[in-house]
Amino acid sequence: MGNKQLYYEDVEVGGEVTPLAKVATSQMLVKWAGASGDFNPLHYEDSFATSMMVGSPIVHGALKRAWLGHLITDWVGDEGTIKKLSCQYRAMDYPRKMKTMTEPHEGETWWCKGTITGKRVENDEHIVECNIWAENGKGEKTTPGSAVVVLPSKKRG
């Protein structure tokens, strides 16, 4: 709430969605599990994750999808509307680990990003299509997706 409003006239095909940084810690995964009801031990138990051959607990796919939703809702502003949001889970991401109780976390920051791939007016709606994704600290797109949004127009009324 309170974000600067984006208008249809402000975007161009090839432009970018304002990037959003995200950090996942093991504590965040526990909170997400509680809020979402996804208590799969793959997301919090080292020995289970090792037995499943993924090395260590991984970030919930649905959490990465929520990050992409956050990316788009922040970008479109209070008057924008999401018509469609989808993504695919293409690679595993691992949460940051704490060094000690007093030292900062180590690990990576994910970036949620996007580009504008199309825009059109249809049935009086100002529609913008985007490719969106979450990428890891190496710049690899681990969670690609797409979004279709409706933006307000400056040419109202």
Mean pLDDT of 101-120: 80
Instruction: Count Cβ atoms within 10 A of the Cβ of residue 12 and give its class: 0-12 exposed, 13-18 middle, 19 or more buried.
Output: exposed
Closest CA to 67 of 140, 5, 132: 132
DSSP assignment letter at 124: T
Task: Identify the band that residue 2 occupies on the pLDDT scale cut at 50, 70 and 90.
Answer: low
Task: Indicate the number of domains in the chain.
Answer: 1
What confidence score (pLDDT) does residue 109 get? Answer: 86
Is 144 part of any domain?
yes
Is 50 part of any domain?
no
Q: In this predicted model, what pLDDT tens digit does every residue of 121-157 receive, in sequence order?
A: 999 999 999 999 999 988 999 999 999 999 999 986 4
Residues 46, 111: Cα–Cα separation, whole Å: 25
Q: In this predicted model, what pLDDT tens digit does every residue of 26-39 receive, in sequence order?
A: 888 888 899 999 88
Q: In this predicted model, what pLDDT tens digit does every residue of 40-77 receive, in sequence order?
A: 988 888 888 889 988 888 899 999 999 999 999 999 99
Is 102 part of any domain?
yes
Is 114 part of any domain?
yes
Is 40 part of any domain?
no
Q: b/e string for 125-149 if b means 16 or more Cβ within 10 A?
A: ebbbbbbbbbbbeeeebbbbbbbbb
Is 119 part of any domain?
yes
CA distances from 48 to 29, 41, 51, 56, 129 (A): 15, 6, 5, 8, 40
Q: In this predicted model, what pLDDT tens digit does every residue of 57-66 receive, in sequence order?
A: 889 999 999 9
Is 131 part of any domain?
yes
CATH number, domain with residue 129: 3.10.129.10
What confidence score (pLDDT) does residue 43 get? Answer: 86
Say what the alpha-carbon torsion angle 56, 19, 27, 35 is, to the nearest 10 degrees. Answer: -110
Is 43 part of any domain?
no
Model confidence, pTM: 0.88
Task: Identify the band that residue 119 occupies on the pLDDT scale cut at 50, 70 and 90.
Answer: very high
**Residues 58 and 92 sit within 8 Å (Cβ to Cβ):** yes
Domain span at 129: 8-23+60-151
